Each structure stands twice: as C-alpha cells, then as structure tokens.
Chain A
C-alpha cells in the first residue's frame, strides 16, 4: 500500500473494469432528460389548453345535454378537447411518477403504484378520446 492512498481505498480490491463498465447501470446516458423535457413540453401545451378548457366549461354552465354535445362536436372544440386530454393525462402521469419516486420507499409498493398510475392515465386518455370521438362523429 502506498502512502498516498486513503484508508478507504487501501481496503478495496483493485478495480480492473473499464470506465464504461463502471458507469453502466448507474443511470441513463440517452433518455435521462426525457422526463424533464416532456414534462415541460406538455406544460407549455397545457397553458393555452387549460385556459380554453375553463372558458369552454364556464360557457356551458347550465346548458342542456344537446347544447353540450353540439359545442363539443364542433371541429375546433373536438380537436382541442382531444389535445387537452392527451397533454393532461401525459403530464399527470409524469408528475405522479415523481411524487411516487420521492415519497414511496418500499420497492414493491412503488413499482405497483407506478404501474397503476401508468395504466390509469393511459386508460383515462383513451376513454376521453373515445368519448370525444363518439360525441363528434355520432352526435
């Protein structure tokens, strides 16, 4: 043992792995910013969509079923509702994922909740798209 080594290093066995070998498994080198980026992309999309959504729903307060269906079936509104549903459930999935990662420290429960959130958000988005398509196309 040379004098320059710290006590910690002195008890370790020599590491013959390559730098790439040591780095593998410690994190992503390709999709590490993907979560951050898509959270921001969906957030930017949701700024005008949420404003439009609230305005549309307020204008429908007290309206009857036929009026609600007619308004949602308008091409602009049907497409905006579809975009809103996709962006919101995607954004919700990304946000809930981080909350679970931060607060649930029991591995089996954490993975189960991540699967539940992913499946539920996918189902919520698809159910919304199905309903919008049915309102817009079948009246």
Chain B
C-alpha cells in the first residue's frame, strides 16, 4: 500500500487533489450548461432545475462543486506561479500549499454563508 510504504506528503496529496477537483469541476461544467439551458427555457424546466438544486442533496453537490472549483482555482494560481519560476524553494512550496488549503476552506464557507443568507 502506498500509505504504508511511502509517507504521504502535502506536495503529492495536493497534486492528486488538483486532478480530482479538476475532474469534479468538469462535471460541474456540464451542470452549468444544464442550468443555463433551464434558465433559457424557463417555466417547468427552470422550476424542476431549481427544485433539484435546492434539495438537500442538490445543495450538498453544489457545495462540493464550489469547494472543488475554489481549490482548483487557487492551486491553479499556485501552478501558474511555478510556471513563471516563482516559489520553488521547499519552504515556499509548503507555505503556498497550506495557504491554498486554508483559503479554499475559508472562501467556500464565505460563499455559502452569503448564498444561504439569500444573496449579496
């Protein structure tokens, strides 16, 4: 097993998380297309889409999409900075990694706090 022979590190775990959140966000992209079509159609199509997204399960899925998108966005910025040659020293890699995780959790919480209060 990977976990017993090879100690998991934040670097490899975050790299894997980038792929997983990317796949989840891709599924979310199709959800957005479906929602936009429902908005365009209006009437029953929008009503059933709203009911689906507003249900407990729908809200949970939306929250998961939100975290995946926010994490992928923040870690993507981290990747772009590496592409530009910045932040390659190991302490910097760890610091940016923990920053991304903390910010992703906080931003997701803030987004849902505002959304559940009924919009900004």
Could you tell me if B115 and A132 are in contact, using CB atoms closer than 8 angstroms? no
Q: For the side of the interface on A, what is the size category?
A: 35 or more
Could you tell me if A131 and B39 are in contact, using CB atoms closer than 8 angstroms? yes
B105 contacts across to A, CB distance below 8 A:
none
The binding surface of chain B is classed by DSSP as: helix
Could you tell me if A135 and B39 are in contact, using CB atoms closer than 8 angstroms? yes
B74 to chain A, nearest CB (A): 10
Could you tell me if A128 and B119 are in contact, using CB atoms closer than 8 angstroms? no
Which residue of B33, B116, B119 is within 8 Å of A127 (Cβ)? B33
Could you tell me if B76 and A43 are in contact, using CB atoms closer than 8 angstroms? yes
Q: Does B95 contact A (CB under 8 A)?
A: no
Could you tell me if A40 and B83 are in contact, using CB atoms closer than 8 angstroms? yes
Q: Does A120 contact B (CB under 8 A)?
A: yes
Q: Does B30 contact A (CB under 8 A)?
A: yes
Q: Which residues of chain A have a CB within 8 Å of any CB of chain B?
A: 40, 43-44, 46-47, 50-51, 54-55, 57-63, 65, 68-69, 72, 81, 85, 88-89, 92, 95-96, 99, 120-121, 124-125, 127-128, 130-132, 134-135
Q: Which residues of chain B have a CB within 8 Å of any CB of chain A?
A: 19, 22-23, 25-26, 29-30, 32-33, 36-37, 39-40, 42, 46, 66, 69-70, 73, 76-77, 79-80, 83, 111, 114-116, 118-120
